Amino acid sequence: MFTIAKTEAARGIWSAFKETLSEPARGMVMVDVIAAGICGTDYHIYSWDAWSAGRIKTPMTIGHEFVGRISAIGEGVTGYSIGDRVSAECHIACGECHFCRTGNAHICEKTSIIGVDRPGAFAEQVEVPASNLWRVPDAIPDKHAAVFDPVGNAMHMVATAKVTAKNVLIVGGGPIGLFAAAIAKAHGARTVALQEPNQARAAIARSLDLDLVINPRDPGASEEILALTGGHGPEVILEVSGNGKALNASLDIAAPGAVVALLGIPAGLVELDLGAKVVMKGVSLIGITGRRMYETWYQVEAFMLKNPDLMDKVITHVLPATDFAHGFELMDEGACGKIVLDFQTLDQRLPI
C-alpha cells in the first residue's frame, strides 16, 4: 500500500508496504486491486502542493482510478459475487441532499472521494460502497478498465457540450484532453483541433487522426484554428489545461454562441473580460466536475468496447506498481499519455 506518512508528507516521501484490510463494513465490498491509473490529482498529492497540504489528512492511501476483483462482501450487499471484476465511481455521494435526490449526485454537497478523503486504490485492496461499483465486461482489458474514471471526466465534458456536427477545440493535451479528443471524434464532431505545447503529448494527439494539432505558442496558431473553422472559430471549446492565458486566447477566437466546457483547474485566480469575451459574444461557460452517476459510465463502457485502439493510443505506459515513482517522473516531464500501474506483476514490467 502506498501511503503518505504524516511526518513525511511535506517532503513528498512515500513508503510502500503490504497490509490486509479487515472485513468490509455493511453495504461495502473489498476489492483486490488489479490495476490503477495515476491521476493528475495523485500527482498534486505526490508533489504535496498547496492544495494537497490544505485538503489531505495524512496518513492517506491515494489512488482512485482502478479495476479489481471482489474478494469480500459486507452485510446487506446484493447483486455481486466474489470474483466479480469491477471498477468504481470514486465520488461517494450522500444520497440524501437536494442534488442527489434530483439526479445530480456528481455535485453532491457531502461528497467523499476515494483516495482523497478516504483510503484509496494504490494498495492491494480497497474498500468501496457496493452502490459505487461498476461491473466491467470481459471484453474490456484491465488497463482500459482501470481508467473508467478519467475517461468519464472526458465523456461528461464532451456529452455536456454536445459536440456533434460542431467545430471543436480542445485546450490541453494531457490524458483527459486526449481522451476528450478521441471521444469528440467518435461523437461526430465536424472538426476536432487540439492545442498542446508539449511535443510528446502533441505526438499522441496526432496519432488520433485529428483535424489539427497545434502548438499554441507558435505564431499564427489562432489563424490556423480560424481557417479550419471557416473563419467562424470553434463552436465548442473543451478547456482541460487550467491555464488562464490559454482560456483567454481560446475565448478570443470562439464563435459567437460557443459553448465552453471548463474542466481544467487553474492554480490561482483567472482574469477574464466577461463583457467582451462572454456576454457580448453570447458564450456559455459550463463547469464540469466528475461524472454523471451513472449515465456517464454507460457511455464510457460503450466507447471502450467500440474504440479499443483509441484507448491504446492514449494509455502509453503500464508500469509495475512498485515503479510508481517512475510514473510520477514521466508525468512531471510530460513524457507520457495515461499511465496505469499494474498490481499483478509487481516485480517486472509486463503489459496487462
Question: Is the CB of residue 260 less than 8 Å from the CB of residue 283?
Answer: yes
Query: Any idea which residue has 495523485 for its cell?
Result: 42
Write the CA distances from 321 to 45, 47, 171, 237, integer angstroms.
17, 18, 31, 35
Q: Which of 171, 180, 185 is nearest to 240 (CA)?
A: 171
Residues counted in the chain: 352
Backbone angles phi, psi at 124, to 5 degrees: -70, -30
In a 10 Å sphere around its CB, with 0-12 CB exposed, 13-18 middle and 19+ buried, how is residue 176 labelled?
A: buried
Catalytic residue of the set 44, 64, 187, 317: 44
Beta-strand (E) ranges in the chain?
Answer: 2-4, 14-16, 28-37, 60-61, 65-73, 85-88, 91-92, 112-113, 125-129, 133-135, 167-171, 191-195, 212-214, 236-239, 259-262, 284-287, 315-320, 338-342
Which residue type sits at 164? T
> Which of helix, strand or coil describes residue 224?
helix
Is 91 a catalytic site residue? no
Say which of 3, 41, 111, 316 is annotated catalytic.
Answer: 41
DSSP per-residue string spanning 242-262: --HHHHHHHHHHPPTT-EEEE
Residue 144 a catalytic site member? no
Which residues form the catalytic set?
41, 44
